[in-house]
Structures are given as C-alpha cells and as structure tokens.
Amino acid sequence: MELEAGDQLDTSVVLAPGTKRSSYLAAMEEAKKARGSGSASSGKRKAAAENGAPKAARAPSAFHLFMKAEVARLKAERPGLVHIEALKQAGSNWKKSLAQDGASSSAVGAQDGASAAAGGSAP
C-alpha cells in the first residue's frame, strides 16, 4: 500500500523507534479504514464524479466571446502579431468598448430626459 496524493501523515499512529515503513503503512491503512474511505474534502468530488452525470458547461461570457473574436481579428490584420500582444490589444479594446457603451447609454438617457422635459415622447 502506497500513500496517495493528498494523504497526510496520521499523527494518531504512534510508532516505536526503529519501526519499519511497511508496518507504518499498515497502521495508516487500518486508521484510514476506521475513519472511512477518503478524506472529507475529496468525498464531495468523488460523489459528484461517481453519479455518472456529466458536468454542464457554462455559457461563454460576453467578455470571452469578445476576446475570442477580437484576437482572431487582430491576428488576421497582422499575421506576425505575438499572441500575448494580441491579448493586450484586445483587452484594451474591450475597455474602450465599455467606456463607449457607458457614454452612449448616458447620452441616450440625457437625450430622453431632455425630450421628456420638452414634452416630447421617448422613442
């Protein structure tokens, strides 16, 4: 029996000086059986994986969709562009698009407010 990744040394098992590793591992196995299989943190993961249902994939966010399209566009414009530079430029473009969206929506809101004050109807 070998220790698995994530197993911790059990301090409740006291070994006499000169005890061999094999007897320590046997004592660890007995202590593990007494506690139950696995650790408390891995129990949820194992249960989720054992039920057979595949985990549903998340829908891509607006940022992810923008970045994917923008990086592809930038690389098509400049084929020699390094990927990290394309990502930096795409991120900068995302930030600019947020600022433009915010400015245009506040301008539309101000325009609607001015037309409502003048007695006009909002579109």
pLDDT in tens, the chain (123 residues): 455 655 665 555 565 666 667 777 777 788 778 776 555 555 566 555 567 778 888 899 999 999 999 999 999 999 999 999 999 999 999 999 988 888 776 665 555 555 544 555 444
Tell me the backbone φ, ψ of residue 6, rounded to 5 degrees: 95, -15
Q: Do residues 24 and 15 lie in contact, with contact meaning Cβ atoms separated by under 8 Å? A: yes
Count, residues in the chain: 123
pLDDT of residue 56: 84
In the chain, the amino acid numbered 87 is L
In the chain, the amino acid numbered 88 is K
Q: Do residues 88 and 111 lie in contact, with contact meaning Cβ atoms separated by under 8 Å? A: no
pLDDT of residue 37: 54
pLDDT of residue 27: 78
pLDDT of residue 86: 96
